[in-house]
Structure 1
Amino acid sequence: MSLVRRIGRKIVRIKVLLCLFAAILAVPGWSAEGAPALAASAPVCGRGDHGLLKGLQEKRMNADGSSLSFNDIQFLGAAIGRAAGNGFMIGTSDAGCTFQTIYEGQWSFRDIDFPDNVYGWALASVQEGQLVYLIRTTDGGSHWKRLSAGPVSFRKIQFTDRRHGFAYDWAFAYYTADGGASWSKIPTPSNTRGAVFTSRSSGWAVTVAPGTGYRVMKTVDGGTNWALKLKSAFSYPVGAEIYEGGSQVWALLYGESGMSQTSYSLYASADGGGKWRRVIAQSTAGGGPAPGSGNEGLAKGPVSGKPGNMQLAGGGAFLLGYSPAGDQVGVGRSYTGGKQWRNLPGLPGAGGVISFTGAKEGWLAVRGLEQSSLYATHDGGSTWERKLFFKTK
């Protein structure tokens, strides 16, 4: 074989080896040494907002000298959520690692509700005004349109999809099938103090029988007929909330308030309203005896304070409590339909709101005297990590 042919064959072999070597290097997860390559380190989710809140706060201070504060939060899952307040809305899509400004403007949000990540509704006032309007967004919250010609009496809204939803004041419930453009009143029992509907046909109401007590009622025909589910022999007819999730039903009965205290009782049913237990019966010096009757539950709720909002998620029940005088905000919870209840350690604050998306994952917005903070939990509220905050002074 000639020298030229031998050199040519060696060159071909070298080219083949180089191609094979390049192919190996191109396989994901392999290094030049033939060992699995280390993937690029995932960014660590740290604290802070990268200057977002400082910028928002500086704009507000320069505009009118006021400070910002969280009024409501809602998370659609562990990663996606929004927090809103007086003239702003921020959001995250990575479980709070980073937040972005969604809205800045005239609307001061009081209650927000997003059935998905695009369509949303809110009860809001213009700046710090007292009148409340129903507004809607179709782009995730960047732009809002007023739906009501004038102010509304609604205190809470709840949408199941882009067209269907419910609204409530203390006495009545309302239903819409056109995205909030028009509303029809749902028949509720006389002396209703709070109601909730999970569909157009199925709903609950808490009523007061004057001089007798509270009643928890259920309808399965859209309010035409109501059946008694719980009777309590003692009542202060102030107000009530009712929550339903799966087979769990919880009734929160408010008593009187005074000296920054509110007396209340919390009842739970784990079988759709068949049997009830009194979980909390908190009497206070300023608010008097706990409303309702039955076997006494725990004498104190979370942080021994006023009841805030409640969430049913992942089989768990979570109640916010806050004590303005004690400067404490905390959560109580049950994973057993009310058979066991645990009041968890509190955080500094004068008020707040919770949003839980599962048995362990949840968020807490706290309003304090000097700052307003947003916290996340991954253990059902036992511990909280502060994600960001506004200085309010």
Structure 2
Amino acid sequence: MKWLGKQPLVVLFLVMILSIAAGCSSSAPSSANSAQPPASGTEGTGNSGNTGTTQPGETGSKGTGSDASSVNPKPSTPDKPVSESGAMTNLTAVRLIDPSAGWVGGNGWIARTDDGGKQWKMQYSGKDGIAQIFALNGQDAWASAVKADDASKRELLQTSDGGAHWSVVGPLPNAGFIHFMSKQEGFSANAYTTDGGKSWTTFGLPEHVVGDAYFHDKSNGWIVTAEDKKIYVKRTTDGGKSWNTVLTRDTEAFLNGTVIRSAGAQDAWVELIGDSGMSQTSYSLFHTADGGKNWQPVLANSTAGAGPAPGFPANYAGNKNEGSKPGDLYVVDPKVAFMGGYCPACDNPNTVGSTPDGGKTWVNGKQQLPGSSGAMLAMSDAKQGWLITKDATKPSVMYTTSDGGQNWTAVHTFDQPKS
């Protein structure tokens, strides 16, 4: 009976021990939960908030702005293939930071690698297709997104932490090539921003412009016009207030398009795109390193199915790039430029050629690579770069080069395209 009288105290003591043990157990964090970053933002289009997930993570000319790495956190190294967290298909954009790091984008997504393309981390997921990516450095980058509900409209996305967060800056004024000189100063064709893309002003252009204008900086810009079987390359040094003709070429071919890139205030590489026929496109490439005073004919790709290269007679014999159609033009510096070639009728249609001396000579690569829809080219320097093939029915493949495009090594196969 005495033991029964003490029974409530014993029970109370046992309850206290069990409560303390349970409290210690509940306070210990789960290792699985602690390793996961919190979800963020919606896929909205406003200027505030983040789009996609919070998983962390050149240019016409390499970025000249200040490096933000001292104030922004460095992106983490990818720890698993992106295929485990989302499909990487329908690739449409690529941009290098250096030979080991860079971004790719596709139909509604952006991913980053920091190990030379072996593994990728998905950083952005949305409704809009990614048309371009531009990197000022490893932290500051921008992307052009084509609106899913209106393909005539584009928005500018931006990251300042290596891609850990992407946000919508605002609408883009055109579909031109975007490039930034600093975190605030950038260009899109003949449009100019001084506030990181929030607002834009446009430079004046003359009539008969073919393709997009290209402005290296707020003073120096280039355009191509075509009139009466003549092609004119024009330059401005006063921000579009006046334009001076610096190159005139008679042409037998109709001019259908242009691509202009620059690696300096006095530098310009001008690609002229002519007629197409029989799965062939004729094109030419010119280069100046002294503001247009002197020009070097770099390429003259005349074809049987599409006629003479723009600005050249049909029988002109000059440097010729491999392939029956032009691929991507990528300028490294005033001496070095690369250009892809594409042959739809070939089993392995993609090639890469380059010039080491400002266009005086042209060196065609040794390999032909698969990819029925062409390839995207991006170079880090005169020796190292990436080539990503595209295919409507097969996975894209990323290749790297360390010898200036003479040889390419496959390093990653992306996901199977959706049917």
TM value normalised by structure 2: 0.72
Counterpart position of 1:202: 220
- Picking from 185, 192, 195, the partner of 2:202 is 185
TM value normalised by structure 1: 0.76
1:336 aligns with 2:357: yes
Structure 1 stretches lacking a partner, 5+ long = 1-48, 61-66
- Picking from 83, 90, 111, the partner of 1:54 is 83
- Picking from 369, 385, 389, the partner of 1:362 is 385
Counterpart position of 1:251: 270
Q: Which is worse superposed, 73-82 or 311-320?
A: 311-320
> Secondary structure of 1:79's match?
coil
1:268 aligns with 2:293: no
Counterpart position of 1:376: 400
> Secondary structure of 1:68's match?
coil
**Distance of aligned partners of 1:130 and 1:286 in 2 relative to their CA distance in 1, 3 Å threshold:** farther
- Picking from 255, 274, 285, the partner of 1:237 is 255
Counterpart position of 2:177: 156
Counterpart position of 1:83: 104
Deviation, 1:53, is: 4.5
Instruction: Indicate conservation of the 8 Å contact 1:162/1:179, yes or no.
Output: yes
CA distance in 1: counterparts of 2:176 and 2:216, whole angstroms? 17
Instruction: Indicate conservation of the 8 Å contact 2:224/2:231, yes or no.
Output: yes
Counterpart position of 2:297: 278
- Picking from 93, 109, 113, the partner of 2:114 is 93
1:301 aligns with 2:324: no
1:119 aligns with 2:119: no
CA distance in 2: counterparts of 1:125 and 1:52, whole angstroms? 26
Aligned residues: 331
CA distance in 2: counterparts of 1:116 and 1:183, whole angstroms? 22
Structure 2 stretches lacking a partner, 5+ long = 1-77
Deviation, 1:288, is: 2.5
Instruction: Indicate conservation of the 8 Å contact 2:81/2:119, yes or no.
Output: no
- State the Cα RMSD in Å: 2.6
Deviation, 1:367, is: 0.3
Deviation, 1:156, is: 1.9
Counterpart position of 1:392: 417
- Picking from 232, 235, 242, the partner of 1:215 is 232
> Secondary structure of 1:192's match?
coil
> Secondary structure of 2:84's match?
helix
CA distance in 1: counterparts of 2:117 and 2:98, whole angstroms? 11
Instruction: Indicate conservation of the 8 Å contact 2:286/2:298, yes or no.
Output: yes
CA distance in 1: counterparts of 2:105 and 2:368, whole angstroms? 22
Counterpart position of 2:14: none
Deviation, 1:297, is: 4.8
1:190-249 CA distance string (max 9 Å, x none) = 2122321111011111111x2131111111111112222111111513111122224643
Q: Which is worse superposed, 120-129 or 271-280?
A: 120-129
Q: Greater share of strand residues, 1 or 2?
A: 1
- Identity, in percent, stands at 34
Instruction: Indicate conservation of the 8 Å contact 2:144/2:157, yes or no.
Output: no
**Distance of aligned partners of 1:137 and 1:277 in 2 relative to their CA distance in 1, 3 Å threshold:** closer
CA distance in 1: counterparts of 2:406 and 2:379, whole angstroms? 13
